[in-house]
Structures are given as C-alpha cells and as structure tokens.
Structure 1
Amino acid sequence: MTFLMTVIGIVVFAIGLLVSIAWHELGHLSTAKLFGIRVPQYMVGFGPTVWSRRKGETEYGIKAIPMGGYIRMIGMFPPGDDGKVSARSTSPFRSMIEDARSAAYEELQPGDETRLFYTRKPWKRVVVMFAGPFMNLVLAVVIFLTTLMAFGVRTTTTTVESVSQCVVAPTEKRDTCKQGDRPAPAAAAGLAAGDRIVAFNGARVEDWSTLQKKIRDTIGPATVTVERDGRRIDLHATLIENKVAKTDGKGGYVKDEYVSAGWLGFTPANGYVEQSFGQAVTRMGGMVEDSAKALIDLPAKIPPLWDAAFNGAERDPNGPMGIVGAARINGEIFTLDLPATHILVLCLQVLAGFNLSLFLFNMLPLLPLDGGHIAGALWESVRRHTARLFRRPDPGPFDVAKLMPLAYVVAGVFVCFTVLVLIADVVNPVKIT
C-alpha cells in the first residue's frame, strides 16, 4: 500500500509539473500572438513528439520528456551585419551564432517579414519573455494564498497530543520509563491527551511559542488551565528543570543541541491555523525572500551537494533539489498518516514552491533563460534612447545571437548541475519522514 501511495504521489507531481510548464509557455504564446508574432509551435516537453495537433498557424503538442517546454517564434534574432539570415564560417563561435540565427528563420514564410520577434519594440519583447515566468509566479501566489487562507499553516498548537509518564532527558534517546524514574509533572498534575491549554499561571495563551516560553521560564509550582470536554479546568503542576531542545528562534529546533529550562512533560499536537490575507501575504513575502536567497547562495551549496552524492555526506534538507527529488517528496507526502485535506495542502504547496523557483530561476539575466532575452531587449532600449539623446544614428536591434557562445556555456553548466542534483536525489535523497 505504501508503494502504491508513493507512486500516486509521484504521478500527481508529474501532472502538476506538466500543467506548470504548459501554463508557463501559455504566457509566452498569448503575448506573442497579442503582438502579432507568428508562433509555429507550442510544445510541452522535449524529445520525440507523443501527440500534436495543428490549430491555425500553430502546432500544439506534448513531447516524451516532461522536463520543460518551448514555443517557437519566428525571427528571435535579427539578420547578420550583411543582412543575410545565415552565412557559414569556419569559426566555431561564429558557427554557433549563425546556427541560432538560421534556426530563427528556418520556418519563414511569405508575409512573415512584419511578424518577426526582433522587429517588435523592446518593451513588447520584454512582455513576451517575462510573461512565461510571470505565469509561474501567479500560479505560486494563487496556490500559496489559497492554501494559507482556506486551510491555514501547519503549526504546533497548544493542544496536548501525548503526555510523558516519567522524567526522561532527551539526551537519553528513550521513550520508555524505567523503575525509579520520577513521574513527569504533566502526568502528576492530570494533564491528558486532547486537552487544550488556554492559560498558564492565569495568563491567557493562544499559540505554542508563547506557551513554550512560559513553560521554559518556569521552575516550580504553576497553574495550567485546560479546556476539556467543553469545560475549563485548573491543573496544578510542579515544573522541574530538565534538558530541552534548543530553539532556532524561527519556530524550529537546533539538531542535537540542548539547554536547561523548565519542563512540564507533554508533546503538543500539530494542526492547521487559518491565516488572514495580511498574514498570508507576509508569509508569501518571506517565502519569496528565502527562495531568492537560496538561489543566490546556490554556488556555495554545490560542494556539500557533491559530498552528499559521492562521499556519503549527510544531505542538506535546505540544499538544491531537482525534479526527481521533488517527485519523491510528493510521493512521501502521500504515505503520511494525515487527513486527505492535509495531504492535498502539502502537495499544492510543493507545486507552488516549484513554480516560485521556476520564476526566480528564469529571471536570471543569462541566455538561454528568459531573463537573458529580457536583458538583451532592455539593453537595446538603453542604446537606442542614448543614441536619440545624443542625436546619433540608431544603432538598430541588439543582436542577442552574438551571445550564443556564452549561452552554450551557461547551458552546459546548467546541464552539469542538473546531473549532479539528479544523482544526489537518487543516491542520497532528501526525506521528510
């Protein structure tokens, strides 16, 4: 059964991935057609074509490898300095430029002279190239805001999940009591699973972080007010000093680090807490900030990723993860002992995180990414405006094709990185269980 649920989770992620790619390319397609650019192809995936159908002047299809997608626009690059579409050269770098230029014109038909991508104003080209990543951003924002406001954030609550029967330090790494162990303060006071703690020493508590701090700051007698079966009951406990996990200040814990603090002796339950629109926007902003920082820190995470893939080092759960790793995570989510709505929320948030990463990654100002074409169009606009300002001749379109040698280098780096992440995801995957 676990294997079946894992497979279902992976298939669900694959479907979500295809939808995200199609949605991304739809942004490019719709704006290109809006500005009169001819688009011969709209494809989801790479490799052999599995299915396609022509509607109007565009062929729509699905390819065998769901690792990306593309639309083919006529005239992505301007003609060469000699006005020709292609002119062969023995220089390998020049050949790259000419191959890219000729590919942009290989489906040129009579009447397409006014429908070329490069002939559109720079701002229109920026819109066309930005529309793809923007669609991913829209999808991520909609999913995050919807799940945060409709379902909430999975967080630690003040409801008791279980009660420790005896005093056991976490450093002992055991869950059972031994003869001679002292009763835990919570058990001695009569705290029971299902109780919701609403006040501590007379002060109202509504969230776990507040309650946790009050407990840790208290050693000695305390009154714990709980809500049980619709009634409020005051329980009297004597908290003791014990070793407890050190917190990181962000709601999490520092692995294998402990501090001495007040201890009551129970495990809080996790649940979903609905967020207001303002809270959801704030959390969404934090996610974008964290994702952008992770992208900036990516080069520094390559050596640990290499060690995890080839040297058996521990995999960083916050390190880079590829499509295979994300699919495995989604598969694990389906095996969790959680309500169906909770599993749905977690899967949607994985998909939203993937779309947010797609947006940020594609906005890097490097060819062959969308951000590289955006940077080229913006640079052309700057050149032309500067020429007009100083009454110089119009420099004409910026020839992005001349950057193709660099684009091949960037693509090579991306391929190598993708392979490294793939190996790490297979031999040493990130796990949530």
Structure 2
Amino acid sequence: MLAYIIGVVLFALGICVSVALHEAGHMVTAKAFGMKVRRYFVGFGPTVFSWRRGETEYGLKWIPLGGFCDIAGMTALDEVTPDEAPRAMWRFKTWKRTVVMSAGSITHFILGFLVLYLMAVTMGLPSLAAAEPTQPVLAATSCAVSTTTKEQAEAQAKNPTCPPGAPTPAKSAGLQAGDKVLSVGGKPVATWEEMLTAVQATSGLTEFVVQRGNQQLRLQVDVPRVQRWSGSAVKEVGMIGASPVPPALTTQYGPVAAIGATFSFTGTMFAETAQRLVEFPERIPAVVTAIFGGERDPNTPVSVVGASRIGGEAVEQGIWVLFFFLLASLNFFIGVFNLLPLLPLDGGHIAVVWYERVRDWIRARRGKAAAGPVDYTRLSGITMVLVLIGGAVTLLTVTADIVNPIRISP
C-alpha cells in the first residue's frame, strides 16, 4: 500500500511540475520578446507565499493543480496601465504572439521527449514489436492436453502442466526451442497466429518446415486432435504442444542511438494521440456506462485522478516503464489538446490571432485599412459552452476513475 501511495503522489507531482513548466514556457518566451509578465504562480487559490523580482511577482498557491502566467495585454480588450501599454502582448507581431501562446504546448512536447530519451538509455522504450504479430518461433515444447471447461483453460494457461502419458507431438518430432516455423502441411506461415490456425485445422502426420540457425529442416509431426475450451464452447482442434517466444517488452539504446529511436517513438505517440483525440467523443458513453456498473473499457479517457492511480499501481508492481511512459503520454496529450483551435485553449487564441492577420492581409489587398481587434466578448457564449462541456467531461472521468477505475492486471 505504501508503494502505491508513493506512486500516486509521484505521478501527481509529475503532472504538477509539467503544468508549472507549461506556464513557465509562456513566461520565458514573453520576457524574451519584451512583453511584460505581471505574475507567475504555481497552483490556484490562496497564496502560500510570493516574492517579487524585477517587474514580475512569483509565488505558490495552496491548490497545486495547474498555475498561471499573467501577461499584460494578452488581448486588446484587457486593461493595461499607461506604462504597460507599449509592451502589451497584443501590440507585438503575430509570429511572436504565436510563439508565446504555443510555448506551453512545446514545453510539454520537450518534456515528453526528454522522459522518453531517458527511458531509452536506462530502462528501455516499450517495444513497438510488442504490438505486432508474434513470430512463429518456439520458446518451449510441452504436451497436448484437453481442456473442456473455462476453469481448466485458465488453470492450464497460468500453470502449464503435463499429465503422465500426455502426448508431446512437437518434442517427439524433434522440434526445439528457437525453431522458426516456416510452413505447416505445405502452407506458409508468417505469424504464430497463422501457425496456430494451420495446426488446429490438421491432424495426423504433418510436415513442418522449420528454420534452425542456417538450416531448413523438414520434420514430420504426428498432430493429435484434442478437446479445447474456446471462449464459450469446446472445440476439437489439432495441437502440437508448443509455446511462442514473447516479443521483447522494452528495447534499450545507447546515448546516440537513443536520439533517433526517441524521435521515431515520439512520432508514433503523436499519431496515437491524434487518433485518441478523434475517438474521444465516441468513448464518452462508455465512461457513463462504467459509472453505473458496466465493465470499464481500458481505452476510455481517464482524468488526472485515474492517471495517478494507474501510476501508483505501476510503482506498486515495480513497472516503472509504464509509470514514465504514462507520464510522457500525458504530456503529449496535454500539449496536443491545448493546441486545438478552441477557446479558452491556447490554440483558440492562436486561431484568433491568425484570423486577424489573414483578415487584415485581405483588406490590405483591397485597399482597406486594417480592422480592429476581434471582440472576444462576442465569443463568450461559445467559450462558455466549451467550458461547460469540458467541465462535464472532467466530472464524468473523475467519477469513473473513483467508482470504477482502470486497473493494471497483476
């Protein structure tokens, strides 16, 4: 239990640090361009302590869930003092404002990349091969036994045993650990699943072509028919008594090779993050079902609470690869999500800035003067709707993560 609590606290702390650095990204770039940063605080609520350095007040709030960076004149509608007006953010060039507003997401991307790189050179990156079809390579040979009930099938899977006198077709035919099966009964196979299908459909003496080192061998296997529990019924299938070599869970790299591997892995994670965002709305009903007692789909969205709980379980079970992978994934997700062109996200502000830029460019081509800044008050209705939707989704995911959380299988 102590390890679980430590894991939850560490993961929550990692999220808080990520969000604090997100706001620091806004602050550093704003200061670099000469904009005035009034305040930079970590957390919300009452102030624990603060100090002033130069023109900026820095501090810590009681609720460590986020933070904020107060830049003078983020929009033309914001109130600024006479001395702040020349350095108001909205007066700066479009590209500078874009850099400042996207700096938070970029910070998340950098953090995610650094976490993955450190994983690559220490504990290793989760192997992409683990998600690919299993190769038809034998890890060991055993026996062909019948399992006629669900309980027998589960017991055999957890603790494979061979009753006295049980046939050992693969071993008897000369198959060995490390052999790669190329064909079964003249039918080529490229994956373990294809080999399994071919074996289950055959019986009696069957020719297996295997690769052993630099040799190709042809072995005759006497395949027996056995009764096997399959989901909800018993089926008679062919069985040779063999298990596959599991794919490597992680791949470790040297300091130089890890750079390219991390970039490649990051690209894959960006693609998966984008796919998750596209699927996000259609997974919400499953969250509601889970709240009312339905089975929790592991692919449903999780809140910070749920992610922290998974992080705690990962530490409790010693799966640090999952802990840090989840932390990197969350950084990528927050970074991409925050760039969506929706207010009040940074992406929404960037979209407005570029709308003004393109609009004024078109007006200039028509010989017209630049129009005034976009009136954000006209967008308040849309913004409020999006805030309410976001709040409702957050409430749903937090509730689901409390009453029916996603758990790591031991």
Q: TM-score, normalised by structure 2?
A: 0.79
Any idea what the Cα deviations from partners look like across 1:318-355, whole Å, max 9, x if unmatched?
A: 1111111111111111122x5xxxx3322111011101
Decide which of 287, 290, 300 is 2:272's aligned counterpart.
290
Which position in structure 1 is the counterpart of 2:282?
Answer: 300
* 2:112 aligned with 1:131: no
Distance 1:169 1:265 in 2: 16
Q: Offset of 1:200 from its aligned partner?
A: 3.3
Structure 2 residue matching 1:354: 3-state secondary structure: helix
Query: How many residue pairs were aligned?
Result: 379
Any idea what the Cα deviations from partners look like across 1:354-401, whole Å, max 9, x if unmatched?
A: 011101210111111101100110111011111111110210322334
Distance 1:268 1:27 in 2: 45
* 2:111 aligned with 1:111: no
Contact persistence 2:137–2:180 (CA under 8 A): no
Contact persistence 2:143–2:240 (CA under 8 A): no
Any idea what the Cα deviations from partners look like across 1:96-141, whole Å, max 9, x if unmatched?
A: xxxxx4xxx3xx4442111111111222211111111111122223
Which position in structure 1 is the counterpart of 2:50?
Answer: 52
Letter in 1 for 2:251: V
Q: Offset of 1:273 from its aligned partner?
A: 3.2
Which position in structure 1 is the counterpart of 2:5?
Answer: 7
Which position in structure 2 is the counterpart of 1:397?
Answer: 373
Contact persistence 1:163–1:187 (CA under 8 A): yes
Contact persistence 1:242–1:261 (CA under 8 A): yes
Distance 1:6 1:125, change over 3 A: same
Any idea what the Cα deviations from partners look like across 1:216-253, whole Å, max 9, x if unmatched?
A: 434535476789xxxxx99986555678999xxxxxxx
Letter in 1 for 2:86: T
Structure 2 residue matching 1:305: 3-state secondary structure: helix
Overall identity of the aligned pairs, in %: 34
Contact persistence 1:363–1:369 (CA under 8 A): yes
- Aligned-residue RMSD, C-alpha: 3.8
Distance 1:38 1:181, change over 3 A: farther
Q: TM-score, normalised by structure 1?
A: 0.75
Distance 1:201 1:420, change over 3 A: closer
Q: Offset of 1:64 from its aligned partner?
A: 2.7
Which position in structure 2 is the counterpart of 1:328?
Answer: 309
Letter in 2 for 1:324: V
Letter in 2 for 1:323: V
Unmatched 5+ stretches in structure 1? 80-100, 228-232, 247-254
Structure 1 residue matching 2:296: 3-state secondary structure: coil
Unmatched 5+ stretches in structure 2? none
Contact persistence 1:224–1:236 (CA under 8 A): no
Which position in structure 2 is the counterpart of 1:72?
Answer: 70
Structure 1 residue matching 2:311: 3-state secondary structure: helix
Contact persistence 1:158–1:269 (CA under 8 A): no
Any idea what the Cα deviations from partners look like across 1:38-89, whole Å, max 9, x if unmatched?
A: 111112222223343322222222323333221011112214xxxxxxxxxx
Letter in 2 for 1:167: V
Which position in structure 2 is the counterpart of 1:143?
Answer: 115
Q: Offset of 1:268 from its aligned partner?
A: 4.0
Which position in structure 1 is the counterpart of 2:298?
Answer: 317
Distance 2:208 2:305 in 1: 50
Matches for 1:147-166 after TM superposition, within 5 Å: 147-148=119-120, 151-154=124-127, 155=130, 165-166=143-144
Structure 1 residue matching 2:37: 3-state secondary structure: coil
Distance 2:227 2:18 in 1: 46
Of the structure 1 ranges 312-321 and 293-302, higher mean CA displacement relative to structure 2 is found in 293-302
Distance 1:335 1:267, change over 3 A: farther
Structure 2 residue matching 1:319: 3-state secondary structure: coil
* 2:401 aligned with 1:386: no
Structure 1 residue matching 2:20: 3-state secondary structure: helix
Distance 1:53 1:395 in 2: 40
